[in-house]
Structure 1
Amino acid sequence: MSQLSDISLVAQIVVFNNTRAFDQLVKKYQSSIRRFFLNQTCGDSELSDDLAQDTFIKAYTNIASFKNLSSFSTWLYRIAYNIFYDYIRSRKETTDLDSREIDNVHYTEQDNFSQQTDIYQSMKMLKDIERTCITLFYMEDQSIDKIAGITGCPVGTVKSHLSRGKEKLAKYLKQNGYDRDRR
């Protein structure tokens, strides 16, 4: 489906309240939105599913506000981005302990059982905005301009977050036995 068909589906939803059209948009984007959250939550699939569901509910209830100033996918990722940061803010307000420290202790005590766990662990070392930029660029194949639209950061700032995040990931993975020269 192209951007034109996304716009056509949005029009059907807004004008005719066509829920099947929204279902088509969900089917098209659910995997990438869920994957975005899976990377943001460092592998928490239940939380990722909940946040993805919240994203699609918010998109459906606000679909009439889509003005086609960006692609539908950029608009949807912007909603997902906001849902995630609302979740982070609410968690920080209700938590006395730093859950990142608890997660790090928990992961340190466990054996490294797969590369996936190592990737998620390395993603935890990044700042939230760096993880978002890395996830959108490398895992969701979004352009730097689209990431800027999603996060509200200037293009240069997105590039900086990508650069710093990539350096941190490389350093962490190299320290944990993942070396480019080794195969």
Structure 2
Amino acid sequence: MSQLNDISLVAQVVVFKNTRAFDQLVHKYQSQIRRFFQNLTCGDIELSDDLAQDTFIKAYTNLGSFKNLSSFSTWLYRIAYNVFYDYIRSRKETADFDSREIDNIHHTEQENIGRKMDIYEAMKTLKEIERSCITLFYMEDTAIEKIAEIVNCPTGTVKSHLSRGKEKLSGYLKQNGYEGK
């Protein structure tokens, strides 16, 4: 029923330029998309909000290209993943600027905040694709097949990223005092 409602709202936006219908889609998915980005950015709320806003702008401008080959949420997460990937690529191009100093300040501010921050620090050790798969699977409760569509790789590769990501997270957390917790 939810998928039919999404399709109906998409049709209203595309055919009738009904912006209120798009507002309903934003309202329905904004918390999920913001949480997705918050996990990918290791707790950076401002960046998460910016990336979520970019995602919804791109979704709105490209809504006519939604072909209903997958669910609307999968299509939206795919856009979100691409927005994050574009951000990472642009950040690598400007990494020569004081990023190490900024990262050190950011790291210092996050110390002693608690387990959640420790998890975010552990997530920073993962490759972007591993972090995306871990976030979608464990934090967003997304099926492996849907993750494969979002990150555009085979399900076996998603399983490999999940396995390697879990192993890295476990190792990092054990090194930082979470042995039996």
How big is the shift at 1:88?
Answer: 1.0
Compared CA separation, residues 100 and 153, structure 1 to 2 (3 A): farther
Q: Which shows bigger deviation, 103-112 or 44-53?
A: 103-112
Query: Aligned pair 1:36/2:36, yes or no?
Result: yes
TM-score by length of 1: 0.92
- The count of aligned residue pairs is 181
**Any idea what the Cα deviations from partners look like across 1:30-84, whole Å, max 9, x if unmatched?**
0010011111111110010000000000100110100000000000000001111
Equivalent residue of 2:82, what SS?
helix
Tell me what 1:8 maps to: 8
In structure 2, the partner of 1:67 is 67
Counterpart for residue 87 of structure 1? 87
**Match status 1:121 vs 2:124:** no
Equivalent AA in structure 2 for residue 65 of structure 1: S
Cα distance between partner residues in 1 of 2:157 and 2:34: 25
Q: Which residue of 2 aligns with 1:46?
A: 46
Contact 2:13 2:19 in 1 (8 A): yes
Give the RMSD, CA atoms, in angstroms.
1.8
Structure 1 residue runs of 4+, over 3 Å off? 97-102, 108-111
User: Does the residue aligned with 2:93 lie in a helix, a strand or coil?
Assistant: helix
The answer as to whether partners of 2:30 and 2:52 remain within 8 angstroms in 1 is yes
Q: TM-score, normalised on structure 2?
A: 0.93
| Distance (Å, rounded) in 1 between the aligned partners of 2:29 and 2:5 | 13
Cα displacement (A) at 1:177: 1.6
Q: Does 1:107 align with 2:107?
A: yes
- Which one-letter code corresponds to 1:2 in the other structure? S
1: distance between equivalents of 2:109 and 2:9?
48
**Residues 151-170 of structure 1 correspond to what in structure 2 (within 5 A)?**
151-170=151-170
Paired residues of 2:58 and 2:79 also in contact (CA < 8 A): yes
* Sequence identity (%): 79
Q: CA deviation at 1:111?
A: 3.3
Measured after TM superposition, the shift of residue 100 of structure 1 is 6.3
Q: Does 1:138 align with 2:138?
A: yes
Q: Distance in 1 between matches of 2:13 and 2:72?
A: 13
Gapped regions of structure 2 (runs ≥ 5): none
What SS does the corresponding residue of 2:142 show, helix, strand or coil?
coil
Q: Is the 8 A contact 2:111 2:117 kept in 1?
A: no
